[in-house]
Structure 1
């Protein structure tokens, strides 16, 4: 823990020395951003028991990237899988895959991004109004397996209010590193008591430039542009709802197509398609003693094909999912205010060979039925938040052994405001996760990752015991927080690259690395600290942060793909129509390797900048903006990427654009 203490101490000390300029005792007015994935719909500043981050407004637009992982990669405790420009999934405190749940408007995205890092998240951030990161008791509403937390992309395709006039936003941006072009827009309106919404996004980008050579330490490898890092994405959604004093009921439909390259030696492409249908409703004061009743239902039809260099599909992944949620929020009873409900999910998943060879994962039907409750109360000055969930999951493959899992999860958090503006908190949680379909039944080639995957149908359920301590200053011009966490996981499931080489049939060969899913006890622990000066007010503002986590197998050795220790600092200026900012993130080298990982990840510095000017033009708010990413053209390889040795992140990139709001 010496490195952790040094990182946190240096972050706090440099923050106070850097941000001491121009302080005043008056606190700025703070805009209340509501966390929609929280059962109580409270403001982000009230999320003291479940440390949360909400990206919205200008901050979201400045950080928006071509993937959800890129957009969130500099948030506290969040890194990214970075599998090229097309696929990058958030990793929270060293936990990835199925342990971090992806939501869209509070419903599961139902893609297959949790299965493997080469699979993109089927949720588009370009049209999002906000993106939420939550951990702790609130996550139990959405799944027992969300040990790492959840990410909720909010686009409000189903309107909940009536807009008095036509409102919308259109944005166009171009990027130099990949000759990229992106157009996105939203439009909202209403007729009488009917509200409607339209959104869309189109993105084209070529192979991106890299600062040095493609292969780490190989001066003879390719340079210039990273082969097979191009993307082409289209996304459109429409929705409508009937809104009245009693609440609302509505529906939406959306369709996404995404074709992107896989910058591995094989140069695969993934052709992704998803259509989803959603229903959402809210009834205010449905019964005596209750504040609201919510019902949601969604159907998702997802598939993607992994295409080889010959242009032919090799493996086709499909996932058809139906999800329902019903929630009742009750008024205070004996001082406790909370939400309880039920959730069901029915999925058909498969990863079948398109060439007549072994199937990667057989057709498998999974069902999940769950009940949950989240409550909060005040006991004197102490705030308490508690949650519980019971769930039964069943996996039924067409070939193989059926498995059933009874899951129990609970969380308890407490907050003590020991002096005005300062708070000390603690959270204890216990969560169980059923092994995913691919962890149980994989038995075939996965060409995009160049692996031959082997599951184990005898796996036990995964059990996590987590403790988190935090202290924070919640008011004034200078605000800060620090978190310590330790997560003990029994029967942790991970992919072990054995070193054996196989062919497409699973026989000894030279094409594919054997990856066997294994189970072992593990411990993940770490620390985070963040200090902000005037984060929402006019004039100067600043931020300093540091985070570190370490994942180890209890029997010895590190977990694979662990994030590097990071320290970051940023400064910004906002006055009237002008806004500007500069940020620097330093990541240390990462030499804490799993037994089958062979190379350390070098340290790097990432320097970003932003500049924007907003003017009024014929009733429009017209914002001209310029973003600069990796200004120093540093060679950046992230330790959480499977492709870290052969696929660095983009080099220096300038983004120019214009955004119109009305």
Structure 2
């Protein structure tokens, strides 16, 4: 514990020590152009006020876009975001990796696509891939604060929003787009993706697509920790085969826009467990969206969205025969009305509905993992903001009614309340402090209530509890940041007290496929207990987006404990990291190193701590103008040290390390 505090204190003090140096640099008459002149304002679309990224102290945010997104893009959303502040990732091979935000995962972190729920089943289990593709994304947004609660009880820990702009909101004066091809050595991976945008009259058009083929990836050491007989070389069943395409169009006029889109995804990937399972995933999605400017007197705009998702995946055994089939059909609507300032308050209120049919049924005539269950929710939300002298106040609330109706009976309904209040104080030019309090409730997910069957991909027999109470989270967060100049920094400290926290407890009993004593599956019983999650983050950047040299250092830590004693399962390791970059004209290069400490804070049923590791990555690119095209040639290097990386947030950490050293060669064309 003393070492932990020393690490955290050092990170925050290192950030705060730049206060005097940065202030002097800002005042120097011969200094380089201020960062305010070179840093673009990146709008966070999932924020109700559509504020810029640097103004997100009340709703901490990170936006990945442009070169930074392309450099960090991986085969999954979790891999792409795994080195962001406060974000780690689960790891179930290359095909399935989901973001974990501040130690919270699964149903507490909501996945959005263009502000609407992805509606897959990735929140149920770590072996289920997120059905949203980052390769064609315009930007990826991370929210970890009160505004995230406006998207439902599933955002109690935060949200990730993949913005691909399939429904265009503006008319392009000419045809624009980009195409990219890349090859990775560690898995002989081939990836091609592209987007295209144009307009015919007042109709805006969009198309995108992604194709990925990757074989089993190479690992640095042996598959199983300390077992030279377990095999080495390539990790069996870590391949991916993904296809994704989308089309969209909208009518755009001075009054606003209205449009629709359709997309289809197929994804076949391996699960590198001892059972050798595979998952065959399919999803078709339809969306409608529109915005009307100044719809009524006193109102700024009216925005509506509707989406329908038809999702299915089959878990395949060694003979490629389906064992369990997961289905989720979901229809979601959302209406938002933003008003003009009233007594200094400006804000947005709206309603949201969702109707889903979810099931996880045996394909072999055995027990069903989760019975067919209809879930409905209706919610109203409000968020307001006001400047009171130099202090900006923010307040928001959400009321939601959720009902679960399984075919087996035992219907449950939950009335949920969420609220937040915060204040932002710019105590001097370029420096701000913020304090937020939030309260959120979450209804137990369908699988947490009604599971009672085998889940072969995780080798568990899952048992839910239909009598579970709703979770209730009380969060307090203090933030400090420097928002101007070449040197910028931020530091956050938070405490999240969760009553009736739901988690899966692996008891140690072994069962067969019918739930009787056997030796095939581990018994996993969902349980409830009070828990507390504490953590801190600090980050310092220099000239993050400007020409010349740039740099970044960061550290983050979180602790999740049961109040009765013991740790929560799959807790992330403490991390520190540093990177340096250089960009000038057509050349761009960078080097980053992340060090994760060993993690021995184990839940009662976890047996193996994870060792520390160092992950060294690099990138270099050169852009050439060829007619109307910008051609960028790039090389990415991942895990240059070929370190054996086993992450504490992975259920398969003992038998499935991350990939070894890899070089990615690619070319990207923009026009």
1:386 counterpart residue number: 395
2:572 paired with 1:563 = yes
2:51 paired with 1:42 = yes
1:619 deviates by 1.1
Instruction: Indicate how the Cα distance of structure 1 residues 417 and 230 shifts in structure 2: closer, same or farther if over 3 A, else same.
Output: same
Between 28-37 and 178-187, report the one with greater CA deviation: 28-37
Q: TM-score, normalised by structure 1?
A: 0.99
2:34 counterpart residue number: 27
Paired residue secondary structure (2:5): helix
CA distance in 1, matches of 2:357, 2:316: 22
Paired residue secondary structure (1:263): coil
Paired residue secondary structure (1:401): coil
Count of residue correspondences = 662
Equivalences for 1:423-438 in 2 at 5 Å?
A: 423-438=432-447
1:12 deviates by 5.1
2:28 counterpart residue number: none
CA distance in 2, matches of 1:15, 1:167: 41
1:218 deviates by 1.3
CA distance in 1, matches of 2:415, 2:222: 50
Q: Does the aligned pair in 1 maintain the 2:555–2:575 contact within 8 Å? A: yes
Equivalences for 1:530-549 in 2 at 5 Å?
A: 530-549=539-558
2:639 counterpart residue number: 630
Equivalences for 1:330-341 in 2 at 5 Å?
A: 330-341=339-350
Query: Which of the residues 652, 658, 661 maps onto 1:649?
Result: 658
Query: Which of the residues 233, 236, 242 maps onto 2:245?
Result: 236
Equivalences for 1:247-286 in 2 at 5 Å?
A: 247-286=256-295
1:131 counterpart residue number: 140
Q: Does the aligned pair in 1 maintain the 2:170–2:252 contact within 8 Å? A: yes
CA distance in 1, matches of 2:97, 2:164: 20
Q: Does the aligned pair in 1 maintain the 2:109–2:159 contact within 8 Å? A: yes
1:6 counterpart residue number: 6
1:160 deviates by 0.2
CA distance in 2, matches of 1:409, 1:16: 33
1:71 counterpart residue number: 80
1:221 deviates by 1.1
CA distance in 1, matches of 2:385, 2:516: 56
Query: Which of the residues 158, 161, 175 maps onto 2:170?
Result: 161
2:478 paired with 1:469 = yes
2:382 counterpart residue number: 373
2:316 paired with 1:307 = yes
Q: Does the aligned pair in 2 maintain the 1:4–1:526 contact within 8 Å? A: no
Deviations 1:4-37 (A, max 9, x none): 4322343356679999899636413211111111
Q: Does the aligned pair in 2 maintain the 1:188–1:196 contact within 8 Å? A: yes
Q: Does the aligned pair in 2 maintain the 1:251–1:280 contact within 8 Å? A: yes
Instruction: Indicate how the Cα distance of structure 1 residues 17 and 41 shifts in structure 2: closer, same or farther if over 3 A, else same.
Output: closer
2:524 paired with 1:510 = no
CA distance in 2, matches of 1:366, 1:232: 31
Q: Does the aligned pair in 2 maintain the 1:233–1:256 contact within 8 Å? A: yes
2:205 paired with 1:200 = no
Equivalences for 1:545-624 in 2 at 5 Å?
A: 545-624=554-633
2:78 paired with 1:53 = no
Q: TM-score, normalised by structure 2?
A: 0.97
Q: Does the aligned pair in 2 maintain the 1:501–1:508 contact within 8 Å? A: yes
Q: Does the aligned pair in 1 maintain the 2:100–2:109 contact within 8 Å? A: yes
1:141 deviates by 2.1
Instruction: Indicate how the Cα distance of structure 1 residues 527 and 450 shifts in structure 2: closer, same or farther if over 3 A, else same.
Output: same
Paired residue secondary structure (1:138): helix
Between 17-26 and 448-457, report the one with greater CA deviation: 17-26
Deviations 1:209-233 (A, max 9, x none): 0000000121221100000000000
- RMSD value over aligned CA atoms? 1.4
2:356 paired with 1:347 = yes
CA distance in 1, matches of 2:4, 2:61: 21
CA distance in 2, matches of 1:168, 1:113: 30
1:603 deviates by 0.3
1:97 counterpart residue number: 106
Deviations 1:241-292 (A, max 9, x none): 0000000000000000000000000000000000000000000000000000
CA distance in 2, matches of 1:370, 1:18: 44
Query: Which of the residues 464, 471, 474 maps onto 1:455?
Result: 464
CA distance in 2, matches of 1:107, 1:625: 33
Gapped runs of 5+ residues in structure 2? 26-30
Query: Which of the residues 463, 469, 487 maps onto 2:496?
Result: 487
Paired residue secondary structure (1:101): strand
CA distance in 1, matches of 2:102, 2:215: 32
Q: Does the aligned pair in 1 maintain the 2:113–2:162 contact within 8 Å? A: yes
Q: Does the aligned pair in 2 maintain the 1:137–1:374 contact within 8 Å? A: no
Paired residue secondary structure (2:153): coil
CA distance in 1, matches of 2:179, 2:618: 22
Q: Does the aligned pair in 1 maintain the 2:189–2:214 contact within 8 Å? A: yes
2:505 counterpart residue number: 496
Instruction: Indicate how the Cα distance of structure 1 residues 143 and 337 shifts in structure 2: closer, same or farther if over 3 A, else same.
Output: same
Paired residue secondary structure (1:517): strand
Q: Does the aligned pair in 2 maintain the 1:292–1:329 contact within 8 Å? A: yes
CA distance in 1, matches of 2:569, 2:210: 35
Paired residue secondary structure (1:286): coil
CA distance in 2, matches of 1:414, 1:17: 24
1:416 counterpart residue number: 425
Q: Does the aligned pair in 2 maintain the 1:15–1:543 contact within 8 Å? A: no
CA distance in 2, matches of 1:654, 1:38: 36
Q: Does the aligned pair in 1 maintain the 2:212–2:241 contact within 8 Å? A: yes
Gapped runs of 5+ residues in structure 1? none
CA distance in 1, matches of 2:588, 2:4: 34
Instruction: Indicate how the Cα distance of structure 1 residues 417 and 522 shifts in structure 2: closer, same or farther if over 3 A, else same.
Output: same
CA distance in 1, matches of 2:14, 2:531: 34
1:496 deviates by 0.2
CA distance in 2, matches of 1:156, 1:517: 38
CA distance in 2, matches of 1:433, 1:122: 23
